[in-house]
């Protein structure tokens, strides 16, 4: 089957040298010359879903009839030589925290089972205007927090796909769709994308409209995809047709994805995640860095420059910082949800801990976040971007509790220790599938300064063209 990953899901033997996920841009020339159609492409996606969904369980809802109608309309536009955009006809999954007028939006909670809002979030509306095929809603953790849904990792059914964008990352990793939407407040795009061999972008804070009713101060809407080109095209169309969060200037960059761009220098970030890495993951990442260095790129660590060491200390313990910010901002919503009697025990406990926070606690957390963002500015003259891992290792087993560093908190979908700082900073981040550890994917993460999303994608493109994937 064309445009489908070579490794079968649940293989447990992921090989980054030959695993190719489903892409859309490669198929598009055949739509333009009439040798294939978006409807036929959609049917290939549905066949893959039929084959792997019983194990992967990436979807809450599929709107097959609506998708077929949209694909037929796209097919007709291509026949007329008038596609609406580079993503016209692309089947896309939508994380089930974003509203869809033709499907329920349940937020991963029984409280909102079968809830129909009758409207599209700005990003979903933008995709429809671009001709994309909205195929279904993907599984999220409860309210995009911590309690996982049924989704499994497409490369090992006994492992987590990550969270909270679990269904989106798994659907792309299993070759079910070429792209899916996710969002991130702590680590919900980059970590699951790395676990599932996705490309993914967490854009600059506010660059893409995050979705109505999701009122968290560091919420980022992002894109999971099987290729960098599809990833950028989806983000671009959302930015152009749906805009940014109110008060933000939106995503910068042209329609065409950035060509490969070798960085002159990269800052190697440890974050608080480095201490959590096992030896194979550390060794694999160091082999990646050795290759980058061999191409003439200067790599700087905290031991090479005092400003970078200061920054590393500034972003330490960011998992706890994000917990304070998110807890305080979600208290009012969790109070209402608790009153239904259908809120999970985990989130009831989370609420109890959140109620202990004071306004002064929140103000102190905001002050620290602003100081971090100020400290980041000192790094601009040193390098083109930053590089680190997307997670401390491959996806842990289902049910595994990842320590947070705080005795009363743990994570059920893997540690966000490599992600929390970029979420608090509001910087763009891109993950690329360049590593395998014990037969499972591990992502390499590039981080830029605000509004360097397009350039950062070019650096990611260069990595994929020049760095040999590593298996350990």
- CATH assignment of the domain containing 224: 3.90.1300.10
The residues, ordered by sequence, that sit 6+ positions from 354 with a Cβ below 8 Å of its Cβ are 327, 328, 330, 331, 334
| CA-angle at 129, arms to 124 and 131, nearest 5° | 95
pLDDT of residue 9: 43
pLDDT score of 1 more than 60: no
Confidence of residue 406 (pLDDT cuts 50, 70, 90): confident
The residue ranges of DSSP E strands in 153-289, in sequence order, are 179-184, 199-202, 220-225, 265-268
Are residues 177 and 291 part of one domain? no
pLDDT of residue 408: 77
Range of the domain at 118: 28-242
Are residues 79 and 217 part of one domain? yes
User: Residue range 73-101: average pLDDT?
Assistant: 98
CB 448 within 8 A of CB 427: yes
| Count of domains for the chain | 2
The predicted-structure confidence for 6-26, as pLDDT tens digits, reads as follows: 333 445 689 999 999 999 999
Residue tagged 């009122």 (tokens): 215
pLDDT score of 5 more than 70: no
CB 259 within 8 A of CB 459: no
pLDDT of residue 3: 38
pLDDT score of 158 more than 80: yes
pLDDT of residue 214: 73
Q: What is the pLDDT of the chain when averaged over all its residues? A: 95
The predicted-structure confidence for 297-327, as pLDDT tens digits, reads as follows: 999 999 999 999 999 999 999 999 999 999 9
pLDDT of residue 52: 98
The predicted-structure confidence for 337-380, as pLDDT tens digits, reads as follows: 999 999 999 999 999 999 999 999 999 999 999 999 999 999 99
pLDDT score of 118 more than 70: yes
Are residues 238 and 290 part of one domain? no
Are residues 177 and 49 part of one domain? yes
Residue 167 lies in a domain: yes
Are residues 223 and 82 part of one domain? yes
Are residues 233 and 270 part of one domain? no
Rg (CA), the chain: 21
Residue 256 lies in a domain: no
pLDDT score of 336 more than 90: yes
Residue 387 lies in a domain: yes
């Amino acid at each position: 089957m064309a445009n489908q990953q070579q490794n079968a899901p649940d293989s447990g033997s992921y090989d980054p040298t030959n695993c190719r996920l489903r892409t859309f841009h490669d198929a598009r020339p055949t739509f333009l010359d009439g040798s294939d159609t978006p409807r036929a492409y959609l049917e290939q996606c549905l066949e893959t879903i039929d084959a792997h969904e019983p194990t992967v369980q990436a979807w809450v809802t599929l709107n097959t009839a609506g998708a077929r109608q949209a694909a037929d309309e796209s097919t007709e536009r291509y026949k007329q030589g008038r596609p609406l955009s580079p993503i016209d006809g692309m089947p896309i999954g939508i994380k089930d925290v974003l509203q869809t007028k033709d499907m329920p939006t349940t937020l991963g909670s029984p409280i909102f089972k079968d809830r129909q809002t009758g409207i599209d979030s700005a990003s979903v509306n933008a995709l429809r205007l671009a001709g994309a095929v909205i195929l279904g809603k993907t599984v999220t953790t409860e309210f995009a927090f911590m309690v996982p849904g049924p989704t499994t990792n497409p490369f090992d059914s006994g492992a987590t796909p990550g969270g909270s964008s679990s269904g989106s990352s798994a659907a792309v990793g299993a070759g079910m769709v070429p792209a899916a939407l996710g969002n991130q407040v702590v680590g919900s795009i980059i970590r699951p994308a790395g676990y599932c061999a996705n490309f993914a972008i967490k854009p600059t804070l506010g660059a893409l409209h995050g979705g109505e009713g999701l009122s968290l101060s560091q919420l980022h809407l992002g894109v999971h995809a099987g290729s960098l080109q599809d990833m950028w095209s989806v983000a671009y169309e959302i930015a152009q047709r749906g805009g940014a969060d109110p008060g933000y200037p939106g995503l910068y960059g042209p329609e065409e994805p950035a060509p490969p761009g070798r960085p002159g220098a990269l800052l190697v970030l440890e974050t608080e995640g480095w201490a959590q890495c096992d030896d194979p993951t550390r060794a694999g990442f160091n082999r990646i860095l050795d290759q980058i260095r061999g191409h003439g790129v200067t790599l700087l660590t905290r031991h090479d420059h005092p400003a970078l060491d200061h920054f590393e200390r500034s972003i330490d313990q960011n998992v706890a910082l994000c917990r304070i910010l998110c807890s305080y901002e979600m208290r009012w919503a969790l109070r209402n949800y608790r009153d239904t009697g259908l809120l999970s025990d985990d989130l009831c406990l989370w609420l109890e801990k959140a109620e202990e926070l004071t306004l002064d606690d929140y103000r102190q957390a905001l002050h620290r976040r602003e100081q971090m963002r100020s400290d980041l500015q000192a790094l601009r003259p040193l390098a083109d971007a930053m590089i680190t891992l997307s997670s401390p290792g491959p996806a842990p087993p289902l049910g595994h509790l990842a320590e947070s560093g705080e005795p009363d908190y743990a994570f059920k979908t893997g540690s966000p220790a490599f992600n929390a700082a970029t979420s608090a900073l509001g910087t763009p981040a891109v993950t690329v599938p360049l590593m395998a550890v014990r037969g499972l994917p591990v992502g390499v993460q590039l981080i830029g300064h605000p509004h360097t999303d397009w350039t950062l994608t070019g650096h990611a493109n260069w990595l994929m063209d020049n760095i040999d994937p590593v298996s350990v």
